Amino acid sequence: MDLHQLVSGNIFNPLPEYPTDQRSVNVPHAPKRNVPLTLEEKKLAVRNALRYVPSHLHGLMAKEFANELEEYGHIYAFRFMPNYDLMAPTLSEIPAKCGQAASIILMILNNLDPNVAQFPQELVTYGGNGQVFSNWIQFRLTLHYLSIMDEEQTLVMYSGHPSGLFPSHRDAPRMVITNGMMVPNYSTKELYDKYFALGVTQYGQMTAGSYCYIGPQGIVHGTTITVMNAGRKYLGTDNLAGKVLVTSGLGGMSGAQAKAAVIAGCIGVIAEINETALMKRHKQGWLDLYSDNLDSIIEHIKDYRKSKKPVSIGYLGNIVDLWERLCEEKEMLVELGSDQTSCHNPYNGGYYPAGLSFEESEKLMASNPEEFQRCVQKSLLRQIKAIEKLTARGLYFWDYGNAFLLECHRAGADILPEGATDTKSFKYPSYFQHIMGDIFSMGFGPFRWVCTSGDPADLRKSDEIAANVIKELSQLDLPQGVRQQYEDNRHWIENAEKHELVVGSQARILYSDQQGRSTLALAFNKAVKDGVIKAPIVISRDHHDVSGTDSPYRETANITDGSAYCADMAVQNVIGDALRGATWVSIHNGGGVGWGDVINGGFGMLLDGSESASHRAEAMLNWDVANGVTRRSWSGNEYAYEAMKRTQQRIKGLHVTLPNSVADEKILDTLF
């Protein structure tokens, strides 16, 4: 990997050879995107891409861009893709004037590592359409800007497009990112295809478009916590030995499910239609065994139920066929069920219908989108029908916030409970409504860090620091629910290394609350200053967090005061993070449940051992968590209310508006 050439900004002189060798590498590719453009709009898409290209090359590149639009449904500018695999280097290897900017380059390159990214050549990190950039010229231009910027400049990103470097100041973010921000009336899934094809917007998912994805480890911890707490809530046990979880998806972030099931101590059975995706997880050691034969899958389930040994079993086939086969079995073989297909994008590769092979689906979605949509909806109805049969026999099923139940509802399934007062509360609660919502309300969410030295020893040392911090915090006078979360997370971090979670950069995830995150950040920064950790650490979090996301079908599904459909929290959060010293910030439309259904944002921050880094980290993390807990408290959540009362006592200058609950409902009953 030639870092100096990548950041040089010398993109067109000479014009690079087409990367034929790299294009022939065996990696997963995005399906052909829909192109709902008129003839004039297709010309506009090419014209838009040519704005990056010197005019003397327009004749050549116009034809190339037009061919890509016709063949792939999007102009990716493949000629400018490096002719080698990308990966995260060490921070010291990156040629840049500014350490903060170098840290962003490191994170971008990690997001496009073939071991991390779902469709690396199409610049998709995860979720089927979570773009890092819209095309490869944007990638090269962005890296160049970052390499030449100083600590008094900010790079502005419009949906993958580097708008330019603008003067700012040392405590301002080095980068501000927006992805998919639309005038509200035009934020529809139908119009997304049009504007993405035109090259003027992109779907950044969550941590794809903010460059903070750390591979499937980023969701392993959350999935593990979800499964453990599902056992406590639904089965009344902390011991999941011999219990079976059936779900689907091994591609992007859903690839975490196999590892999470084993860590949680259960038998995970995960269907995946894409053989390449399944084999990737198997070769990584995350998926223990697999078969494309349902008889074999059933026998494996029965064997491991008897032995009570944790295991991950992959079914190479369609999840609908697996659910229907489980219905046929006289013995009830499954206790827990969910789904992690990318149903936020069901008609463009996020969901593959029963009755069609992977290859047949790819062809049909490109050649006849209307018929493909009908096939998807029929398949969803079959899937939910099978799930309903099993829930009648004792299965506990939850929606994983991937819009599965929402799309079933849109397909015509009768899944609203009797007497439903809204359209976001289905008869099968989302994992957020029943499991994770109260955990977020206590302030616990997915905090992350990356050791920029690339040295596993630094990650090991950071794990030790984190374990000690949690152990000390758990000794404080805390509510039992908070103490339980600290204990769960101490167990996680103490065992993280042995689970071999690292894919790509030397990174870790840990659920923590505001006090935990601030204490961890200060401890990490001191370790860098003292040389205990050899190079700076980047901290970030998933956008799927306490304050980062407004999403009525997921992160704010348990908000019951009517504001679940409002996006003030996520927008305020990114503004507040920027004001308090984040190295970079982002705000996105879409992510998780789909375009138009969610606003989410995130941050990255470089801890370089300096006093200013400590000051910025403490100021920003105090806000980044308290903002969301305050909102959850105001909506009536008792855990959030208690958390904010404790936090106000601890943080100087914090004084929030706490609600006065209505104790006597009769007051309201007599009004209208």
- Would you state the pLDDT for residue 255? 76
Percent of the chain with pLDDT over 70: 100
How does pLDDT run across 144-200, given as a tens digit for each residue? 999 999 999 999 999 999 999 999 999 999 999 999 999 999 999 889 999 999 999
Domain 443-650 superfamily per CATH: Urocanase superfamily (3.40.1770.10)
Nearest CA to 191 among 589, 553, 565? 589
Residues 359-396, buried b or exposed e (16+ Cβ, 10 A)? eebbebbbeeeeebbebbbbbbebbbebbbebeeeebb
State the Cα–Cα distance between residues 40 and 47, nearest whole angstrom: 10
* Reported confidence tier of residue 538, pLDDT bands at 50, 70, 90: very high
* Reported confidence tier of residue 333, pLDDT bands at 50, 70, 90: very high
How does pLDDT run across 619-655, given as a tens digit for each residue? 999 999 999 999 999 999 999 999 999 999 999 999 9
State the Cα–Cα distance between residues 108 and 111, nearest whole angstrom: 5
Cβ atoms < 10 Å from Cβ of 670:
6
* Reported confidence tier of residue 425, pLDDT bands at 50, 70, 90: confident
State the Cα–Cα distance between residues 21 and 84, nearest whole angstrom: 8
CA 64 vs CA 287, 349, 476: distances in Å: 40, 25, 63
How would you classify the pairing of strands 311-316 and 267-272?
parallel
Nearest CA to 401 among 553, 258, 203, 591? 553
Amino acid at 326: L
Average pLDDT on 305-327 reads 97
Element (H, E) at 153: strand 153-158
Three-state DSSP class for 570? helix
Average pLDDT on 69-73 reads 97
Average pLDDT on 316-321 reads 97
Residue with tokens 């067109």: 12
Residue 417: φ, ψ to 5°: -70, 160
Predicted TM-score (pTM) of this structure: 0.90
- Domain ranges in the chain are 3-198, 240-429, 443-650
CATH number for the domain formed by residue range(s) 3-198: 3.40.1770.10
Side-chain-facing half-sphere of 271: CA atoms under 13 Å:
27
State the Cα–Cα distance between residues 117 and 405, nearest whole angstrom: 26
* Reported confidence tier of residue 389, pLDDT bands at 50, 70, 90: very high
Three-state DSSP class for 341? coil
Amino acid at 262: V
Give yes or no for a contact between 585 and 572, defined as CB atoms under 8 angstroms apart.
Answer: no
**Highest mean pLDDT (candidates 21-30, 275-284, 531-540):** 531-540
* Reported confidence tier of residue 128, pLDDT bands at 50, 70, 90: confident
If one compares 594 and 113, the residue with the highest pLDDT of the two is 113
State the Cα–Cα distance between residues 274 and 360, nearest whole angstrom: 12
- State in words which class domain 240-429 has: alpha beta
Give yes or no for a contact between 514 and 647, defined as CB atoms under 8 angstroms apart.
Answer: yes
State the Cα–Cα distance between residues 491 and 271, nearest whole angstrom: 29
Residue 108: φ, ψ to 5°: -60, -45
Whether 443-650 and 3-198 are alike in CATH topology: the answer is yes
Give yes or no for a contact between 380 and 387, defined as CB atoms under 8 angstroms apart.
Answer: no
Judge whether residue 50 has pLDDT over 90.
Answer: yes
Joined tokens for residue 408: 């079933």
- Would you state the pLDDT for residue 429? 81
State the Cα–Cα distance between residues 635 and 559, nearest whole angstrom: 6
Average pLDDT on 331-360 reads 92
